[in-house]
Structure 1
Amino acid sequence: MMVNAALRPLTVKAGALRRQGYVPAVLYGAHIASLHVSIQEKDLVNLFDHVTRSTPVEVRVDGKDTYHVFLKDIQVHPVTARFLHLDLYVADPDRPLEMHVPVRFLGTARGIRDGGILEAVHPYIPVQAMPAQMPARIEVDVSNLGVGDSILIKDLPWAEGVQPLPPPEDAVVAVVARRALEVEAPVAEEAEVAPVEGEEEKPTGGDKAGA
């Protein structure tokens, strides 16, 4: 993926750039001086439809120099969700990187149809790779997973040059049984109520003693 950028003088305020449809950004890395640039917002919207944070992106500045970058930090407006600022990391092409690569789960696990739940143990997997070999995402087909089945780190077809960092026996995804909590309402024991013995009824009328 490639996006165009333009050098921007620091005297230009970020708010003014945004009102003109541009987003301020900075390119930085261990082997270059920081570059302050602006990128058209519409180009960024299109870019983010196709990339992840681990996707190498080409940034062409003023139509001349091209830099291979990764999206390091993205600031968005909390209400409008529009881009406010980007930090773009220029990777050293000769040194490996460690990044968290997102996992995309494909298909519907058959265990779900049997009442199980798909548990994403590793929605992101930390890997080490050279910048040019860094995967944008890791696709995992879960269609054949039944209840109690899992896919481990070692089960994935890792590309040459990509080293997963978690232990090989770590689960990436699993289908677990749905454990419904059966809450039994306590049954109140009926107390035996002993009949109350009443006082014997005294006669209301009696023989009066004669004088």
Structure 2
Amino acid sequence: MNKFIQFNTRKTDTKSNINQARKQGRIPAVLYGIGKETLTLEVNEKELLDILKKNPRAILQGKVSEELEVPVVVQNIQKDTLSGKILHIDFQHVNMKKSMDSKVTIHFAGEAVGIKAGGTLQVEIYEVEVRCMPEDLPTSMEVDISGLDIGDQLLVSDLIFKDGIEVLTEPSTVMIQIKTVHEEEEEEAVVTPA
């Protein structure tokens, strides 16, 4: 449990109140999973962006009121398509005694030998779905790709997670591959409509 986030109760749900709150740097939010009801809240935009930049998948300590502090994760972020500003955010209460499903971001490190030899790098996926206890959830994973040559690919099954983490993404899924420039051009020719 690394980061703390303050929730404030949202008084009303009128459009003008929500827009006013956004202008003042407060983002409308909901929190699921505490009892049966969904809590309508708001969070400080600057505080939230700071957390998302460091680790968007972190389990946060959410302070709902003086009496209620609960572990939560970001479930969904709704952004404005043009400005990219966060419009709304959903949080989910985390039961620390039960396993949870989440995604882990994969960072590719190093320069593949195949790139130096003139190949091109094609990344298919940047994250994998996992199931584990909340305290075992890795924030991200770094994978060294410097050994990949032209024609090589990295599969989900090549990832090595610590014990207690079950990978839900199909093991045969290609994450990254090194192609020749020739292959790239052929693919583009197939995609281009005649």
1:138 aligns with 2:137: no
Answer yes or no: is the 8 Å Cα contact 1:103–1:140 preserved in 2: yes
Aligned to 2:107: 104
1:39 aligns with 2:43: yes
Equivalent of 1:5, from 4, 7, 11?
Answer: 7
- Mean CA deviation greater in 67-76 or 56-65: 56-65
* AA aligned opposite 1:47: I
TM-aligned CA deviation for residue 40 of structure 1 = 1.1
1:164 aligns with 2:167: yes
TM-aligned CA deviation for residue 88 of structure 1 = 0.5
1:20 aligns with 2:33: no
- The 3 A distance-change label for structure 1 pair 140 and 34 is same
1:50 aligns with 2:50: no
Q: Secondary structure at the match of 1:49?
A: helix
Equivalent of 2:68, from 60, 65, 70?
Answer: 65
Identity %: 26
- The 3 A distance-change label for structure 1 pair 90 and 62 is same
| Structure 1 CA distance for aligned equivalents of residues 95 and 185 of structure 2 | 57
| Structure 1 CA distance for aligned equivalents of residues 25 and 65 of structure 2 | 17
Aligned to 1:89: 92
| Structure 1 CA distance for aligned equivalents of residues 122 and 81 of structure 2 | 29
Aligned to 1:153: 156
- The 3 A distance-change label for structure 1 pair 11 and 31 is closer
Answer yes or no: is the 8 Å Cα contact 1:31–1:92 preserved in 2: no
| Structure 2 CA distance for aligned equivalents of residues 116 and 23 of structure 1 | 44
| Structure 1 CA distance for aligned equivalents of residues 90 and 162 of structure 2 | 28
Structure (1 or 2) with the larger CA radius of gyration: 1
Q: Secondary structure at the match of 2:21?
A: helix
* AA aligned opposite 1:8: R
- The 3 A distance-change label for structure 1 pair 182 and 97 is closer
Listed one character per residue, the Cα deviations across residues 73-112 of structure 1 (whole Å, up to 9, x for unaligned) are 2122233322211110112223222223221111211210
Q: What's the TM-score, normalizing by structure 1?
A: 0.74
| Structure 2 CA distance for aligned equivalents of residues 133 and 92 of structure 1 | 13
* AA aligned opposite 2:118: G
Listed one character per residue, the Cα deviations across residues 138-191 of structure 1 (whole Å, up to 9, x for unaligned) are 2211112121223333332212211112454544322222226899xxxxxxxx
Structure 2: give runs of 5+ residues left out of the alignment.
187-194
* AA aligned opposite 1:75: Q
* AA aligned opposite 1:70: V
* Bigger helix share: 2
Q: Secondary structure at the match of 1:138?
A: strand
How many pairs are equivalent? 182
Q: Secondary structure at the match of 1:16?
A: helix
> What CA RMSD, in Å, does the superposition of the two structures yield over aligned residues?
2.5
* AA aligned opposite 1:124: E
| Structure 1 CA distance for aligned equivalents of residues 9 and 148 of structure 2 | 51
